[in-house]
Structure 1
Amino acid sequence: MVADSSCVLLPGPWEHRNIAANGAQFHVVLAGPQRPDRPVVVLLHGFPEFWWAWRHQIPALADAGYRVAAMDLRGFAGSDKPPHRHETAVFARDVAGVIRSLGAAGAVVVGHGFGGTVAWSMPAFAPTLTQAVAVLGNPHPAPLHRTARVPARALATLARFQVPWFPERALREGTLVPELLRAWSAPGNDGAASQAELYTEAMRLPFAAHSAMEHFRWLVRATPRTDGRRYLAAVSEPVRAPVLSVRGAQDPLLPARAFARDALYVTGPLRQRVVQGSGHFLPEEAPDAVTDLLLDFLGAHARVP
Structure 2
Amino acid sequence: MSSKAVSFQAADFTHRLVSTPAGRVHLVEQGTGPLVLLVHGFPESWYSWRHQLPALAAAGYRAVAVDVRGYGRSSRPDGVDAYRMLELVADQAAVVEALGERSAVVVGHDWGATIAANCALVRPDVFRAVALLSVPYTPRGGPRPSEVFAQMGGDEEFYVSYFQEPGRAEAEIEPDVRGWLAGFYAALSGDTMPAPGTPDPHFVTRGGTLRDRFPSGPLPAWLGESDLDVYAEEFERTGLTGALNRYRNMDRDWEDLAAYDGAPIPQPSLFVGGARDASTTWLSDAIDAYPVTLPGLMSSHLLDDCGHWIQQERPAEINQLLTGWLASLPAGILDRVAG
Q: Do they superpose with TM above 0.5?
A: yes
Q: 2:276 aligns with which of 217, 226, 250?
A: 250
Query: What letter is aligned with 1:254?
Result: S
1:8-19 superposed matches below 5 A: 11-19=10-18
Aligned to 2:78: 83
Alignment of 1:286 onto 2:314: yes
Q: Distance in 2 between matches of 1:202 and 1:144?
A: 35
Contact 2:140 2:262 in 1 (8 A): no
Aligned to 1:71: 66
Distance 1:97 1:15, change over 3 A: same
Structure 2: unaligned runs, 5 residues or longer: 1-8, 193-219
* Residues 17-26 or 263-272, more deviating: 263-272
Q: Distance in 1 between matches of 2:140 and 2:70?
A: 25
C-alpha distance after superposition, 1:263-303 (max 9, x if no partner): 13222234211112310000100000100010011001156
Distance 1:170 1:200, change over 3 A: farther
Aligned to 2:190: 186
How many residues were matched structurally?
A: 284
Contact 1:181 1:193 in 2 (8 A): no
Q: 1:218 aligns with which of 249, 254, 261?
A: 249
Aligned to 1:299: 327
**TM-score normalised by the chain length of structure 1:** 0.85
Q: Distance in 2 between matches of 1:159 and 1:193?
A: 31
Aligned to 1:268: 296
* Residues 48-57 or 266-275, more deviating: 266-275
Q: Distance in 1 between matches of 2:258 and 2:271?
A: 20
Indicate the SS of the match to 1:277: coil
C-alpha distance after superposition, 1:119-157 (max 9, x if no partner): 01012221101110001001114369755977968x711
Q: Distance in 2 between matches of 1:149 and 1:291?
A: 35
Alignment of 1:199 onto 2:224: no
Query: What letter is aligned with 1:81?
Result: R
Task: Give percent identity, aligned residues only.
Answer: 28
Q: Distance in 2 between matches of 1:59 and 1:16?
A: 14
Query: What letter is aligned with 1:90?
Result: E
Distance 1:215 1:243, change over 3 A: same
1:33-112 superposed matches below 5 A: 33=32, 38-84=33-79, 85-112=82-109
Structure 1: unaligned runs, 5 residues or longer: 1-9
Query: What letter is aligned with 1:181?
Result: Y
Contact 1:283 1:290 in 2 (8 A): yes
TM-superposed CA distance for 1:91, in Å, is 0.6
Indicate the SS of the match to 2:328: helix
Q: 1:116 aligns with which of 113, 116, 127?
A: 113
Indicate the SS of the match to 1:91: helix
Indicate the SS of the match to 1:27: strand
Aligned to 2:207: none
Contact 1:182 1:190 in 2 (8 A): no
Distance 1:235 1:185, change over 3 A: farther
Query: What letter is aligned with 1:41?
Result: V
TM-superposed CA distance for 1:23, in Å, is 4.5
TM-superposed CA distance for 1:202, in Å, is 1.3
Alignment of 1:163 onto 2:165: yes
